[in-house]
Every structure is written in C-alpha cells, then in structure tokens.
Structure 1
Amino acid sequence: MRRLLIPLCGGAATGGLIAAVSFPWLARTAAIAMPRSFNLYLWDALVVFGLGASLVAFPLMLAGLRLARAHGTGVAAMLVAAMLALVAGLVVLDALEGGGSVLMAWAVGMLLAALVHRYWRRSDQGPLQAHAR
C-alpha cells in the first residue's frame, strides 16, 4: 500500500493542476474562429478539446509520472487518481453534465503521457535491464 501512496497523491495533485491550467485554455481555444467550410465536430475535437485539454494534460501528466517515478500499477493508480480529481473539479464547477468531451480529451492526453513515460523508462534502463524484468 505504501508503494501506491505516492502515485495516488501525485495523481490527485496532477489532476488538480491539469484542471486548473486547462480551463483557461479551453476558453481560449473555444474563442478561435472556425472556418466556414470546416466540420463543427472535427473542429471541436481537434482545436477546442485537442489543444485546450489534451495538449495541456499531456505534458503535465508526463511531468507528474516522471517526478513520481511511477511504474506498473503506480502508473494506473496515478491515472485513476488524476481522473477522479478531474471529475471532482467538474463537479465543483457544476459542469459534469456537459463535461464528457473534456474528460475524454484529458484521458487521451494522460494516456499518451503514460505511453511516452513507458517508452522513456525502457530507454533509460537499457536493453539488458529491460529484458530482465
């Protein structure tokens, strides 16, 4: 249990930081004018939520994973704790009902960060140490 305490606390802190940083970015990307002939759903996915939520969640979660030195179940615990903190942030703002898109965008950014973290951990260990696990 002690091994999971740091990733759980780190995930909750990272989730709170992601929420605090990405809400102003979501407002900025939502204000970008969409070209006339562009698909509205594609614009929302790529520009509003892609730039406003996923692009913000990716580096913050990657930094949290690297600082916590999480691996294995620690990464999963950190992702779950971060998502719970993000859902709590949406509840506080009373935006949970319409927040499905932003939750998905945060999840995409955080999962990409977990994949990059896994790749970096393997390259930091070297080929002989990676096969020993």
Structure 2
Amino acid sequence: MASLAGPIVNPSIPTNALTCSQFEQQTSYLRSWLNFRPTGPGPFGRTNTRDVAVYYVQGPLVGGFVGCAPYITPNGPVIVVTNGAAGQTLAHELGHLLGLAHVNDVNNLMNPTAFPTSYLLTNQQCTTARSSRHFQSCP
C-alpha cells in the first residue's frame, strides 16, 4: 500500500467529509484511510483483523460529532476520535464497537453527551460488551 501522508477530515470538502455512517458509505479517500493498518517489522509488529485501529483526527466530524464507531473495514474495526473530545470519548466509542447503545443517564459512559460523571457501566452493559465478537481477553 502506498504511504499516506495523513487523513484530512474536513466537513466543508465533500471528498474529505467523514460521517458517522457505515464504512461502505464513506468516500474512497476516507475508506483508504480507515482501512489502513501498519505492518511489521517495526514497533507495531503484525496486525490482524481483530485488532482495533484508533485514529485521532482534527475535527469535528460531519454533524459536529467528536467520535464515531464502529467502522468495520476489511482489515478490522476502527474508532475515530477528534481533537478536543472529552477524555472518555474513546471509551464511549469502544463501547459502541462492543455493541453498546446510547442510554439517557449522565452517569453512564454511553450517555450521548459526555459529562464529568459519565464513566459508569451497568452489569448488563458489561455482559453485552464481553459477549461481543470484538472483545479479546489478554493472554
């Protein structure tokens, strides 16, 4: 794969407007980026299709979103988080990858809007996340 200089995510440029929609609905430029994985040798070693790629981009995304997931690409799942996002945004987007939906509780990590108190998960959410095909236990 050719070396890519970096994703340019700009809602005002239609070819670079990353949306929170399925991978297949993105432009070819953005699909190339979302599908990219580093390959070894090097600090990353070999990756596989179960590894989750996380991309931090200058945002916001189309619609003002600061994070979006999951993008399911041929090379594996992807999470996108923009600069300026709240600290728990990555964890929230990982929750989506693991099958969690939004809930209306400002104390819950899956609340659509991040609050300083938004970090809890229910027992049922933990069970759902553990049963996801994307969940991997450490060896």
TM-score between the two structures when normalised by the length of structure 1? 0.29
TM-score between the two structures when normalised by the length of structure 2? 0.28
Q: Which has the higher strand share?
A: 2
